[in-house]
């Protein structure tokens, strides 16, 4: 009997391409696990009215570990239009299944490492004052609060009278009081002190364990005084327990500027849901793009690991597949870390680093080619070809 059971959720588009590549690596490294397929994604919204089927929830509740590929999400009107006609007008409303999964299992810690691999032609470079260029080493790890904030899902178009009445007690709502209901859309930003404390504490603990000198709170407390202000307040309290780690604070807009001026200065960053999403994608752009961006969604009991890229449906049917599987493989390495298989995780990352440094096997994105079926004939590796190179380095 295997030591672990991993629930595999390929999802939509290229998720079905990259997830099997990650499993190939896990099997090659000797990870003792069984893999159980679970359904998720757009197909199940269209045909069942539920992109996160109950059976998938049951499997995650039972086995506690998941690997997730990618999903397709569409705006409200488009989602409703694609629902099976037999299911329309029955109260079904589309909600992102990965967001739903995070909330269902309180996967409140989202960890997104953004580390540059030497030799990656997509790494960020900057011009030096005296001429020439340098390539800073980027090693940032974003802790994104995963279940609250702007993604909590508490929102309305044409809010009911009791909501309008409650909002009307705030003096700044007065200028919206005369707006007709169908013309008024409201999304709430909800922070709780307990969730702030948990993610900030996790960020400081990670910094101590992995030798980072700073934790940066990346919010907007000068404008979002209550929510961002709470995160900052909690961070100062938690910092007292970690006096050897510096506590920094940046506004999200300024951070977007500073990360392209001196990204090497930043170590661990912590932010709410939306700002964490933004800053992690921005840092990912410095280390090769979303083809190198991995993440873990971690709760008290359940953990699900995924690349941060989307489903990229325009690439889904290419034969052979051309998309970069490294983000998915790095996500699998995060799973190994999570269950204490740190030596195996390190071996996977070292194999990826060796392939990137050697530079002989590169997918189309690493060659800066447009994503078209002819890239293989132009020297790009297929998805499986890049995985083959990584496996060869594993020995």
User: What tens-digit pLDDT sequence spans the chain (395 residues)?
Assistant: 789 999 999 999 999 999 999 999 999 999 999 999 999 999 999 999 999 999 999 999 999 999 999 999 898 899 999 999 999 989 899 989 999 999 999 999 999 999 999 999 999 999 988 889 999 999 999 999 999 999 999 999 999 999 999 999 999 999 999 999 999 999 999 999 999 999 999 999 999 999 999 999 999 999 999 999 999 999 999 999 999 999 999 999 999 999 989 999 999 999 999 999 999 999 999 999 999 999 999 999 999 999 999 999 999 999 999 999 999 999 999 999 999 999 999 999 999 999 999 999 999 999 999 999 999 999 999 999 999 999 999 97
**Token pair in block for residue 73:** 């999400």
Q: Superfamily for 1-107+295-395?
A: Isopropylmalate Dehydrogenase (3.40.718.10)
Which pLDDT belongs to residue 117? Answer: 98
Res 395: pLDDT: 74
What is the distance between the terminal CA atoms of the chain, rounded to a whole angstrom?
25
Q: Are strands 268-271 and 214-219 parallel, antiparallel or unpaired?
A: parallel
| Residue 220 DSSP symbol | -
pTM as predicted: 0.94
pLDDT of amino acid 114: 97
Checking 54-60 for CB contacts under 8 A at 24+ apart, the result is: 56/7, 56/9, 57/101, 57/104, 59/7, 60/7, 60/101, 60/105, 60/302, 60/304
pLDDT digits (tens, 9 = 90+) for 335-378: 999 999 999 999 999 999 999 999 999 999 999 999 999 999 99
CA-wise closest residue to 23 among 335, 308, 318: 335
Instruction: Give the residue among 346, 348, 339 at the shortest CA–CA distance from 63.
Output: 339
Six-digit token pair at 275? 């700002």
| Domain residue limits, the chain | 1-107+295-395, 124-149+189-286, 154-187
**pLDDT, position 123:** 97
Q: Residues in the chain, how many?
A: 395
The pLDDT value given to residue 76:
86
Widest CA span in the chain: 69
* Cβ within 8 Å of residue 330, ≥6 positions away: 113, 292, 294, 307, 348, 349, 352
Strand partners, 187: 155
pLDDT at 1: 79
Question: Could you report the per-residue pLDDT of 146-170, keeping only the tens digit for each?
Answer: 999 999 999 999 999 999 999 999 9
The fold for domain 124-149+189-286 equals Isopropylmalate Dehydrogenase (3.40.718)
In angstroms, rounded to a whole number, what is the distance separating the alpha carbons of residues 127 and 43?
Answer: 47
CA distance 378 to 95: 40
Closest C-alpha to 209, from 124, 321, 355, 111: 111
3-class SS of residue 310 = coil
Instruction: Judge if 1-107+295-395 and 124-149+189-286 fold alike in CATH terms.
Output: yes
Which of 27, 60, 1, 5 shows the shortest CA–CA distance to 339? 5
**HSE-CB of 167 using CA atoms within 13 angstroms:** 22
């Amino acid at each position: 009997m295997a030591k672990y059971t991993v629930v595999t959720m390929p999802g939509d588009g290229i998720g079905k391409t990259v997830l099997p590549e990650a499993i190939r690596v896990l099997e090659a490294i000797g990870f003792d696990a069984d893999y159980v397929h679970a359904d998720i994604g757009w197909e199940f919204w269209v045909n069942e009215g539920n992109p996160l089927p109950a059976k998938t929830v049951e499997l995650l509740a039972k086995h506690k570990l998941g690997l997730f590929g990618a999903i397709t999400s569409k705006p409200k009107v488009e989602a409703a239009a694609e629902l099976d006609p037999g299911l329309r007008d029955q109260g079904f409303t589309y909600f992102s299944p990965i967001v739903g999964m995070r909330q269902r299992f309180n996967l409140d810690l989202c960890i997104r490492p953004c580390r540059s691999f030497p030799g990656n032609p997509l790494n960020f470079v900057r011009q030096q004052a005296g001429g020439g260029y340098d390539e800073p080493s980027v090693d940032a790890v974003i802790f994104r609060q995963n279940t609250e904030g702007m993604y909590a899902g508490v929102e309305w178009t044409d809010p009911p009278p009791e909501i309008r009445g409650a909002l009307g007690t705030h003096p700044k709502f007065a200028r919206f009081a005369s707006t007709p209901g169908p013309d008024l859309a409201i999304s709430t930003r909800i922070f709780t002190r307990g969730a702030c404390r948990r993610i900030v504490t996790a960020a400081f603990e990670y910094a101590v364990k992995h030798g980072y000198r700073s934790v940066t709170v990346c919010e907007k407390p000068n404008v979002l005084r209550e929510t961002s202000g709470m995160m900052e307040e909690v961070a100062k309290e938690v910092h007292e327990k970690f006096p050897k780690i510096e506590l920094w604070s940046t506004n999200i807009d300024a951070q977007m500027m500073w990360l392209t001026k001196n990204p090497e200065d930043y170590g661990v960053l912590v932010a709410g849901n939306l700002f964490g999403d933004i800053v992690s994608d921005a840092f990912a752009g410095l280390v090769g793009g979303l083809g190198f961006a991995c993440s873990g969604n971690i709760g008290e009991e359940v953990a699900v690991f995924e690349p941060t890229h989307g489903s990229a449906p325009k690439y889904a049917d290419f034969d052979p597949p051309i998309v970069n599987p490294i983000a998915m493989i790095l996500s699998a390495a995060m799973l190994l870390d999570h269950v204490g298989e740190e030596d195996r995780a390190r071996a996977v990352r070292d194999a990826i680093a060796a392939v990137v440094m050697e530079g002989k096997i590169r997918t189309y994105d690493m060659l800066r080619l447009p994503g078209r079926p002819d890239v293989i004939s132009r020297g790009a590796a297929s998805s499986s070809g890049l995985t083959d190179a990584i496996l060869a380095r594993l020995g």
